Amino acid sequence: MNRSRIDFRKNDWLSHVYLSLILFVAITLVCCNKQPVDYSGPISNWPSYGGSTGGDRYSPLTQVSRDNVSGLKKAWEYRHGDIGNNREITNSESAFEATPIILDSILYFPTPFNRIIALHAETGDEIWTYDPEIDLKGYYANQLICRGVEYWSDSEKSQGACASRIFMGTNDGRLVAVDALTGKPCIDFGNAGQIDLKGDVGDEKWLGEYQVTSPPAIANDVVVVGSAVSDNGRVDAPSGVVRGFDARSGALIWSWDLSPPDSINRNDMLSSGGYLLGSPNVWAPMAVDENLELVYVPTGNPSPDYYGGIRNGIDHYGSSIVALHSKTGEVKWRFQTVHHDLWDFDVPAQPTLTEIEKDGKKVPAVIQATKMGLFFILNRATGEPIFPIEERPVPQTDVPGEYTSPTQPYPVKPLPLIGHDVSVEDAWGPLGMDGECRKKLEELYFAGAYTPPKLGQPTLMYPGNAGGSNWGGIAVDHERQILVANVMDMAWIVELFPAKDYQRVREENPGIEVGPQTGTPYGMTRTMLVSSLGLPCIKPPWGKLAAIDLKTGDLMWEIPFGTIRDLSPIPLKIKYGVPNLGGPIITKSGLIIIAATMDEYIRAFDIDSGKMVWEERLPAGGQATPMTYRVKEDGKQYVVICAGGHARAGTKLGDYVIAYALPD
* Confidence band, pLDDT 50/70/90 cuts, at residue 568: confident
What's the rounded Cα separation, in Å, for the pair 198 and 275? 12
Question: DSSP secondary structure string, 13-73?
Answer: HHHHHHHHHHHHHHHIIIIITSPPP--SS--B-B-STTSSTT---EE---SS-TTTGGG-E
pLDDT at 360 over 90: no
Whether residue 472 contacts residue 485, with contact meaning beta carbons closer than 8 Å, is answered with no
Q: Which residue has the higher pLDDT, 661 or 12?
A: 661
User: What is the spatial distance between Cα 170 and Cα 402, in angstroms, rounded to a whole number?
Assistant: 36
What DSSP element (H or E) covers 654? none
Separation between Cα atoms, residue 255 and residue 201, nearest integer Å: 11
What average pLDDT does range 612-633 have in this prediction?
98
Q: What is the mean pLDDT of residues 302-309?
A: 96
- pLDDT tens-digit readout, 79-119: 999 998 777 788 899 999 999 999 999 999 999 999 999 99
Q: What angle do CA 149, 152, 158 make, to 5 degrees?
A: 145
Residue 79, class by beta-carbon neighbours within 10 Å (0-12 exposed, 13-18 middle, 19+ buried)? middle
Which residues neighbour 361 within 8 Å (Cβ) at sequence distance 6 or greater? none
CA 187 to chain centre: 32
Query: pLDDT at position 27, please?
Result: 46
DSSP state of 240: -
Is 344 labeled as catalytic in the residue annotation?
yes
| Residue 275: pLDDT band with limits 50, 70, 90 | very high
In this predicted model, what pLDDT tens digit does every residue of 113-168 receive, in sequence order?
999 999 999 999 999 999 999 999 999 999 999 999 999 999 998 899 999 999 99
In contact, 236 and 277? CB cutoff 8 Å: yes
Strand ranges (DSSP E) for 339-481? 352-358, 361-369, 375-379, 389-393, 407-411, 459-461, 474-477
pLDDT at 569: 76
Contact between residue 329 and residue 255 where contact means Cβ atoms under 8 Å apart: yes
Q: Averaged over 335-357, what is the pLDDT? A: 97
Name 459's Cβ contacts closer than 8 Å, sequence gap at least 6: 444, 445, 446, 451, 452, 453, 493, 494, 495
Q: At CA 635, angle to CA 633 and CA 641, rounded to 5? A: 125
Query: Distance between CA 645 and CA 660 in Å, rounded?
Result: 19
pLDDT for the residue numbered 657 = 98
Q: State how far the Cα of 65 lies from the Cα of 246, in Å rounded to an integer.
A: 41
The one-character DSSP state at 342 is -
- DSSP H helical segments within 222-280, as ranges? none
- Output the pLDDT for position 88: 76
What integer is the mean pLDDT of 208-213?
98
- Which range is least confidently modeled, 25-29, 140-144, 183-187, 586-590? 25-29
Confidence band (pLDDT; 50, 70, 90) for 2? very low
For residue 571, what pLDDT is reported?
83
CB atoms within 10 A of CB 608: 13
**Kind plus residue range of the DSSP H or E element containing 441:** helix 435-443
Structure confidence at residue 570 (pLDDT): 77
Of 32-46, 341-355, 389-403, 546-560, the one with minimum mean pLDDT is 32-46
Confidence of residue 263 (pLDDT cuts 50, 70, 90): low
Q: Is 531 helix (H, G, I), strand (E, B) or coil?
A: coil
pTM confidence score:
0.93
**Is residue 238 over pLDDT 80?**
yes
Q: What are phi and psi of 20, to 5 degrees?
A: -65, -40
**Is residue 29 over pLDDT 70?**
no
Q: pLDDT digit string (tens) for 510-542?
A: 989 999 999 999 999 999 999 988 889 999 999
Distance, CA of 488 to CA of 465 (rounded, Å): 10
pLDDT band at 25 (very low <50, low <70, confident <90, very high): very low
Using pLDDT thresholds of 50, 70 and 90, give the confidence band for residue 24.
very low
Please choose, from the candidates 347, 345, 302, the residue with its C-alpha nearest in 3D space to the C-alpha of residue 321: 347
Q: What is the mean pLDDT of the chain?
A: 93
According to the model, what pLDDT value does residue 262 have? 77
Cα–Cα distances in angstroms (integers) from residue 203 to residues 92, 141, 207, 226, in the given order: 20, 15, 10, 17
Identify whether the C-beta of residue 163 lies closer than 8 Å to the C-beta of residue 177. no
Per-residue pLDDT for 8 more than 70? Answer: no
Q: Which of 170-184, 423-437, 438-452 has the lowest mean pLDDT?
A: 423-437
Amino acid 90: pLDDT: 87
* Percent of the chain residues past pLDDT 70, beyond the cut: 94
Quick: pLDDT tens for 628-654: 999 999 999 999 999 999 999 999 999
Kindly report, residue by residue over 390-438, the tens digit of the pLDDT.
999 999 999 999 999 999 999 999 999 999 999 999 999 987 789 999 9
Task: Tell me which of 179, 257, 289, 344 is the catalytic residue.
Answer: 344
